[in-house]
Amino acid sequence: MHYEELVKIQRATSGFFKRKARQRVAAYLRELAKELDLVARLDVELQHQAKLNLLNRYTELRNVALRNGARGYGDADWAAASACESWMFTILQYPTQERLEVEVLIREMMNAD
């Protein structure tokens, strides 16, 4: 599961000197949560494609961060995009019951200062 990746991101963005990265991750995750609320209002047959589009967007943002020199889990741009990408993979690949652990971690990361 993508839980382990999210834990690595959370750890790498913790601490006084990583506040900017932690805030960026939280902001991206909150924005994705809003978009997922909108997707949930779509017809069932349109929801899957909308989720795939979100996944592709965050995959591209992660790749852009890599091209711009991101070097690890603590990089603000890479961490934010990667956290969203991991969340989307979890949503698309696992049933609700199996996603619970990831959802709890996502909420913690969204509420980080």
Better pLDDT: 103 or 96 = 103
Residue range of the domain that includes 57: 3-110
Q: What is the pLDDT of residue 97?
A: 80
Contact (Cβ atoms closer than 8 angstroms) between residue 55 and residue 89: yes
Q: Tokens 């889990």: give the residue.
A: 73
pLDDT tens column, 52-98: 999 999 999 999 999 999 988 999 999 999 999 999 999 999 988 87
- Domain total for the chain? 1
- The secondary structure of residue 15, as a DSSP letter, is S
Q: What is the pTM of this model?
A: 0.93
